[in-house]
Structure 1
Amino acid sequence: MLLDSNVEICEENVPRLCEEVRKIQVSHRLIEQINAEIEGLLERVLVALPSDSSDPGCFATVKYASFAESSSPWRLLFMQMLITLPGESILAILRNQLLSPNLVSGGGFNLGLFLSLISTIVVCCKRGTSHITNFLHYILLSIFSSIPAQSSEDSSSQPPDLAALLDDSISSLVSQSQNAAISCADPVELKFIQFYHVLIIVRQICVEDTRLTAFSYGQWWRENFSTSPVLQKEGSSNGGVLATRRSLELLSILLTRLLPFERNPVHLSTQLASPTPFWAIMKEKDKSEEECCRVWNVYIDVARGRLAELRMNRGNETPGPPVNSIGWPSEVETLVNEFMKMSSNTVDPKMNKLPSTLIEMHLFRKAFLRDTVLPLLRNPPLCIPEEKRTACGVILKTVETRLLLKCADASSDRPHRSPKKNVRGKRIRPRK
């Protein structure tokens, strides 16, 4: 059996682990037995590597990479598992570990392995993005509700009863934990760790190709924190997760604690630009400002200052594109080489085709194409071969023809005009 094998769980042994999983999948056993054994291996893999996600500092240092750009060998193992193991079963294992009170003492997850697993589910699993968003919605309901989270397999289809959330005080969260049978961690600290794990997962989805995921960080934020907690009609999206005033206060506290570790001004500005959370809108005008609204307004003020600081730092430290030894970005050089290879295989030199990378730039990275690629094609380095300089000119002409873009330097093509003179016209008297 796979669980009794002596294969050490490490990156070097990923090919052997893949082979062991394949042997189990082609065996003459029931699919339930096969998947149960693979789930056991997955649980071992998640706890075998050194864990580092329980430290809030990981939120600032985490490196996101899309499935296409990632070099993690663990993707091969997860793809092999997904041949027979449903994505919902993998997310059920992650849900049980995220909602476990031992998450803090256990160290959390290995972030590289964790993000590789999320990326593989999004890309390789059917309706992977939908499964993960439902999984995140349940985790958020567990964080912002006072009902103990159930870790059974059927819990994802039965979310907590939002009508039972009657307690509106943040202090009740601590009192409930003191009366609980298991009090291994500070409840606010546990919810804080669970919350930034949710944000890490969401931002990993944002890194993936939007043509595949159809996912938006702003839309996800509005659906969970700005909409009414009343569940919508069947077939529509879930309701919001802020069911009480206490939940809005808790959200403000968690977001404020996370601000020192925030490094992405784009996501922070999206949070600030989203509509106000549900309970902050429902405040009655004739009453003084409630505590939950006051805490939320404090977060907004501090977050705006943090956003200004991040934008200033980003403006001073904006890195340029990777440049090779001749001072040409490698992406532009690859584009020219690909165009020359395509032109050499073309029968009619007048029927040139544009590389797919350039078309993708035109569709999804217009600013990079306009501000970086086209200027470099107009003025290539002097040290490159003559055939590449010729190819740059042909690319510009093809771009003008196929993409209807003006590639000429606007400063050189603009006609010189003499400065205007203020001419005061004489008033013409009407004829008598």
Structure 2
Amino acid sequence: MEHSGNRAMSRLPFEGMHVVEFGQIIAGPTAGLILADMGADVVKVEPTDAGTPSRPHNQRNGSFFYFNRNKRAIAVNLATPEGREAALRLIGRADILIENMAPGTMDRLGLGYAKVSQDNPRLVYCSIKGYLTGPYQSRPLMDEPGQMASGLAYMTGLPGQPLRAGASVVDIGAATYAVIGVLAALLERQTTGQGQHVTGGLFETALFYVGQHMSNAQLTGEAPVPMSARAGPKGGRTAVYDLFNCKDGKQVFIGIVSDNQWRRVCSVLGMEDLADDPGLQHNAGRLLQRETLLTRIAHAVAGRASQEVVDLLVRADVTVAPVHTPLSVLEDPHVAAEGRTLPAQIGNVTGRLPPLPYESNAYRFSVRRHAPAEPGQHTSEVLLELGYTAEEVAALARKGVVRGPDLPVKGVSGQTDVSE
């Protein structure tokens, strides 16, 4: 067991909860990660041929090591009767089940909500699908096409050039909203004693993100303008809210979000003449002279290193941010501070990765176990907990029903394709 920091942890809110995760790629594993970081015993179920070229969604890549910390992993061939029996035993003791398989897959495997809830009526069954109930509910969907279909990519890119976000925001968001549904179901279960089926939708998550633009378009009756193109008096944007180049080849983002910030930025960047201009006292006036102002600020910033600009504007209480890469942000003082990252074993590399983005004064997040480096790393351990004998586990491994690093090996074939 690995722990971050030296401070003793209080009890995590989900300690004692059992979760079974039939998760792949990003969305399902994210839901499992949230519950695992909050203390649940999450057992990830993978196919016995996980990690092979036929299972690209189960490769041990960087994303896998991020989204699967604090979990145990078993490898089971769900296409066999013995594999389904092992899964049903695991589900029988579970508080929560997570799955993001292709529509209909869990039912075909005999692991759908209608079936498993008969034996475990307290189970909260969490599905994450491409679409919620409606004409498209049987369609598969991924993060990027979800951004395209919802209008999110339209609002992100340049006019005529829709662009996906630089992270799997739809997958992660859908998982997070689904977990909110799980928490509500657990609260309800305290009163009713009954679980329920909660489903999160990728498309509906992206649509929720775009809701602010949908609302504004209906209010004004005007066609939405991509956020990258919102310049000028009718753009509805802040006059100075842009990137600027520094002499060290790096960039900073400066946002003037109040009239007081405008006066302060003029003072520290040597633009006192602009601070006294009556036509620039408010954002509306500054929008009319936006290009001129951007040129003046660019000139003032170009002779300074990026960190100097950031420090200068932070002291002046002006909105500013450096432009980082996923590697350079690790060296940012805030990210490097205690608690802002957790230790991670990323394959053969020892690194640091973000925890859940909230904190509590009652407990602290830690890495209790790193992501399972091998498929089925905990197969024997979990099956023994479920009542199997060591001899029975070994026999299942010899038949290709289960897999683990300490078990007999048999070539596997004929598995059900559960990828979306």
Same fold (TM over 0.5): no
**Higher fraction of helix:** 1
Q: Which has the larger radius of gyration?
A: 1
How does the TM-score come out when normalised to structure 2?
0.23
Q: Relative contact order, CA 8 A, sep 6+: which one is greater?
A: 2
Higher strand share: 2
Q: TM-score of the superposition, structure 1-length normalised?
A: 0.22
